[in-house]
Amino acid sequence: MAKTIVVKQIGSPIRRPEKQRQTLIGLGLNKMNKTRELEDTPSVRGMIAKIPHMVQIIEERD
């Protein structure tokens, strides 16, 4: 089984650049406090690194 991470949106996309909004949508997030369980891949980690002020890693699972 692949490693997964649980990501929570903590910031609003209002008044943010379009690229940051699209990154949130790419992660499957669109509303405040929404959580998503995603596969732990370099591309997902890179997306999270681009918007650390808007998302938070809640949990890392094996």
In whole angstroms, give the CA distance from residue 37 to residue 52: 17
In whole angstroms, give the CA distance from residue 5 to residue 15: 27
Residue 1: count of CB within 10 angstroms of its CB: 5
Domain containing residue 21: CATH number: 3.30.1390.20
pLDDT tens column, 3-41: 999 999 999 999 999 999 999 999 999 999 999 999 999
SS3 at position 14: coil
Domain that holds residue 57: 4-61
CA torsion, ordered 2, 38, 36, 46, to nearest 10 deg: 150
Provide the pLDDT for residue 15. 96
**Number of domains composing the chain:** 1
In whole angstroms, give the CA distance from residue 1 to residue 39: 10
